[in-house]
A and B are shown apart, each in its own frame.
Chain A
Amino acid sequence: GQQVMQIPQYQHVQEGEDFTTYCNSSTTLSNIQWYKQRPGGHPVFLIQLVKSGEVKKQKRLTFQFGEAKKNSSLHITATQTTDVGTYFCAANSGGSNYKLTFGKGTLLTVNP
Chain B
Amino acid sequence: DADVTQTPRNRITKTGKRIMLECSQTKGHDRMYWYRQDPGLGLRLIYYSFDVKDINKGEISDGYSVSRQAQAKFSLSLESAIPNQTALYFCATSDPGGTGELFFGEGSRLTVL
A binding-site residues for B, Cβ under 8 Å: 1, 6, 9, 31, 33, 35, 41-45, 48, 88, 90, 92, 96-100, 102-105
The smallest C-beta distance from B2 to any residue of chain A, in angstroms, reads 9
13 further contact pairs, Cβ within 8 A, besides A48-B100, A102-B42:
A1-B59, A33-B102, A41-B106, A42-B104, A45-B103, A88-B42, A96-B100, A98-B48, A98-B94, A98-B96, A99-B45, A103-B42, A104-B40
Asked if B12 is an interface residue, CB under 8 A from chain A, the answer is: no
Report chain B residues within 8 Å CB of A88.
Answer: 42-43
The smallest C-beta distance from B74 to any residue of chain A, in angstroms, reads 14
CA distance A33 to B101 in the complex (A): 8
Give residues of chain B (52-101) contacting chain A, Cβ–Cβ below 8 Å: 58-59, 90, 94, 96, 99-101
Report chain A residues within 8 Å CB of B44.
Answer: 102
Report chain B residues within 8 Å CB of A92.
Answer: 100
CA distance A43 to B106 in the complex (A): 9
| Tally of contacts, chain A with chain B, CB under 8 A | 55
The smallest C-beta distance from B51 to any residue of chain A, in angstroms, reads 12
Are B42 and A33 within 8 A (Cβ)?
Answer: no
User: A102 contacts which of B43, B48, B96 (Cβ < 8 Å)?
Assistant: B43
Report chain A residues within 8 Å CB of B42.
Answer: 6, 88, 102-105
Which of B40, B43, B106: most chain A Cβ within 10 A? B43
CA distance A104 to B48 in the complex (A): 20
Report chain A residues within 8 Å CB of B50.
Answer: 98
Are A96 and B96 within 8 A (Cβ)?
Answer: yes
Mask, B14-49, CB within 8 Å of A = 1, is 000000000000000001000100001111110010
The smallest C-beta distance from B23 to any residue of chain A, in angstroms, reads 12
